[in-house]
Amino acid sequence: MNNETKVKVVTADPSALGLFGLAIITLVASSQKLGLTNGVSLVFPWAIFLGASAQLMASINDFKHNNTFGATAFGAYAFFWYAVGFTWLMQNGVFGEKLAAACDTKQLGFAYLGYLIFTIFMTIGAMETHKVLFTIFVLIDFLFIGLTLTSFGIMEHATHMLAAYSELAIAIVSFYGCGAAVLNTHFGRVFLPVGKPFGIFKK
């Protein structure tokens, strides 16, 4: 007879770090989309270190929490920002003018479409976490709708602005979510409310 012993390793909730990374990169990136800043040269480091690496750290630690939803969400968006950063390098000729000239933004459109599909079913999942996270996912849906349509050349100005304002709104709500995750845990009570799950799908 074999006796099995399970050891639980307690780790802190990584969602605050992941949401902070998301908040910072969407704030900086939206400033460029809104025309408040120019170019992506100084957006790039925030995309790699905050949008990508911070969310990847959150993903890895959510796997340790056995949180499939959080680990998948943070991981998927982390690799999104790595890919976006690499795309900017290509478009700006870092890997050569020939490669930059051959860039077809419609390929980005298909990537954004894939992320839109992913985000839609993650939005459904977020309904059973809390309302702040659900709001973030709804805004990400609108971001990817805007990015997808812009990349395919459909109503480019309107869809670009949809993406820009959605991204700014993501930053604002993510900062709130980050603050709630830190302060609610730190004080051991609801300091910043996040809203109860909808209670539609979970038994």
Cβ atoms of 119 and 140 within 8 Å: the answer is yes
Per-residue pLDDT of the chain (203 residues; tens, 9 = 90+): 567 766 666 789 999 999 999 999 999 999 999 999 999 999 999 999 999 999 999 999 999 999 999 999 999 999 999 999 999 999 999 999 999 999 999 999 999 999 999 999 999 999 999 999 999 999 999 999 999 999 999 999 999 999 999 999 999 999 999 999 999 999 999 999 999 999 998 77
What is the pLDDT, as a whole number, of residue 8? 64
Q: Which two tokens stand for residue 153?
A: 């050349």
Cβ atoms of 177 and 191 within 8 Å: the answer is no
Domain boundaries, the chain: 15-187
Angle ∠(198,200,202) on CA atoms, nearest 5? 100
**Pairwise CA distance, residues 161 & 54, whole Å:** 27
Cβ atoms of 183 and 196 within 8 Å: the answer is no
Q: Amino acid identity of 6?
A: K
Beta-carbon contacts of residue 115 (< 8 Å; ≥ 6 apart)? 76, 80, 144
The H-or-E segment that residue 93 falls in is: none
Instruction: Give helix 156-187 / helix 15-33 axis angle, nearest 10°.
Output: 150
Q: What is the pTM of this model?
A: 0.93
Q: Which of 110, 107, 118 is nearest to 140 (CA)?
A: 118
**Pairwise CA distance, residues 143 & 165, whole Å:** 8
